[in-house]
Amino acid sequence: MKITSIETIPVSLPLRRPHLSAVQARERIFIIVRVHTDSGLVGLGEATVLKEWGGPHMTYYGESHKTVALVIESYLAPALLGADPFQREALHQTMNRIIKGYPYAKAALDIACHDLMGKALGVPASVLLGGVVRTRIPVAHSIGIMTPEAAAAEAAEAVGEGIGTIKIKVGLDPRRDVETVARIRKAVGPDVALTVDGNQGYASAREAIRVLREMMEHRILFAEQPVEGIDAMAEVARALDLPLMHDEGAWTSQDVLRIIRQGAGDIVSLYTTKPGGLWPARKMAAVVEAGGLSANVNGSAETGVGNAANLHLAASCPAVRHACVVPVTGVETTKPTRVAGRFYLDDIVRDPFAYADGHLQVPEGPGLGITLDESKLAKYRVS
């Protein structure tokens, strides 16, 4: 099987509500790729881009849908024409040799190649990543920055729909942040897990330590990336008896090694996109496991294409021991939930993902296990 052509399609789905964070991302246009082959099989991938978001201290850079389309069309696609999608290592070596960086663009092609391999072999993508260690993925419902009253009401509704973990966006206003955590704890009761995500928003380790101590009175499970940089994270880790998750600071296996060596945290947020696809993400997860850390899969509000990749990654990694921030993918006519995990009012996949008791079922079909709805793809395509 050889790659014959690659197409890029920008799409934007209708939001259920704005999802605000300390990052203040303004654009939600993603790139869907279709990788065509001489066998007639077509692989699907997604670049869930965020141009306003990147690694600490300019170590990694955001990508926009226009950046991804340019990189794929001008550099990656010409280099991969005629390549065998089964040769994952060689494909990544080729892409990294042609252009440095741009992991979101590379991730879209990596995901599409896993979809192709699975379709060719008649197995789910998770089998290609080592096999399934769990068939149901617990969902963490993400609460964007909003008033404490609105946050508490949405958290209670999500819990009523089966959610067992609430992730709370913080980092812009410490007073609001602490009040929001307190109100959500009161609204959902003692048994629901609460986590907070600062998106590097606190000004210093000292500020983060002070604010997190107040939040700890309301039993938070862990704090995700409250400050920028591994040194500041290590300072927070030394000061608090509270697990810390690295997100913006953990893009590669080498980043995970630095976190381990500096004792800077306990949990790593895995993505299909940050390391450049499912294959390098699976390698990264192995380093997390070897270092005695744990992980979740922390998406970026993907469409059904990228979300299927999320679920296959989470299904195959023993280190993924925390609820995952992945969408509950639904379509306009069939909505598994009203609020829980719902980022969008519709999707470009034909069928909703199976959801029950706060968990998503891992797709069982070949490859990603999804089918595009061509009419929806055309409807939500942007110029």
pLDDT tens-digit readout, 227-247? 999 999 999 999 999 999 999
Token pair listed for 226: 């409250």
Q: Do 201 and 257 fall into the same domain? A: yes
Q: Do 57 and 173 fall into the same domain? A: no
pTM over 0.95: yes
Length in residues, the chain: 383
Q: Do 161 and 70 fall into the same domain? A: no
Q: Do 343 and 279 fall into the same domain? A: yes
Separation of alpha carbons 313 and 320, rounded Å: 9
Q: Do 149 and 206 fall into the same domain? A: yes
| Residue 55: exposure state from Cβ atoms within 10 A (0-12, 13-18, ≥19) | buried
Q: How many domains does the chain have?
A: 2
Alpha helical stretches, state H, 29-121: 65-71, 77-80, 88-98, 103-121
Phi, psi of 231 (to 5 degrees): -65, -45
Residues 173, 200 contacting (CB under 8 angstroms)? no
Task: Using a pLDDT cut of 90, give the percent of the chain over it.
Answer: 96
Q: Which of 112, 26, 30 is nearest to 67 (CA)?
A: 30
Who has greater pLDDT, 114 or 299? 114
CATH of the domain at 81: 3.30.390.10
What number of other Cβ atoms are within 10 A of residue 100's Cβ?
Answer: 7
Is residue 87 one of the residues assigned to a domain? Answer: yes
Please tell me the predicted confidence (pLDDT) of residue 25.
66
Coil/strand/helix, residue 301:
coil
Residues 363, 369 contacting (CB under 8 angstroms)? yes
Q: Which domain holds residue 215?
A: 127-361
Indicate if the pLDDT at residue 197 is higher than 70: yes
Q: Which residues pair with 136 in a beta bridge?
A: 361
Is residue 368 one of the residues assigned to a domain? Answer: no
Q: Do 76 and 148 fall into the same domain? A: no
The residue-averaged pLDDT of 325-343 equals 96
Indicate if the pLDDT at residue 375 is higher than 90: yes
Q: Do 69 and 171 fall into the same domain? A: no
Token pair listed for 11: 């799409």
Q: Do 255 and 153 fall into the same domain? A: yes
Is residue 185 one of the residues assigned to a domain? Answer: yes
Indicate if the pLDDT at residue 58 is higher than 70: yes
Q: Do 28 and 142 fall into the same domain? A: no
In one-letter notation, the amino acid at residue 167 is K
Is residue 367 one of the residues assigned to a domain? Answer: no
Is residue 64 one of the residues assigned to a domain? Answer: yes
pLDDT digits (tens, 9 = 90+) for 285-307: 999 999 999 999 998 999 999 99
Is residue 366 one of the residues assigned to a domain? Answer: no
The residue-averaged pLDDT of 256-273 equals 98
Pairing of strands 136-138, 359-361: antiparallel
Q: Do 180 and 310 fall into the same domain? A: yes
- Considering only CA atoms, give the Rg of the chain: 20
Task: Using a pLDDT cut of 70, give the percent of the chain over it.
Answer: 99
CATH of the domain at 307: 3.20.20.120
Q: Which of 160, 158, 179 is nearest to 170 (CA)?
A: 179
Q: Do 138 and 107 fall into the same domain? A: no
Question: Of the ranges 11-20, 27-36, 222-231, which one carries the lowest mean pLDDT score?
Answer: 11-20
Q: Do 333 and 215 fall into the same domain? A: yes
pLDDT band per the 50, 70, 90 thresholds, residue 23: confident
Token pair listed for 9: 């399609």
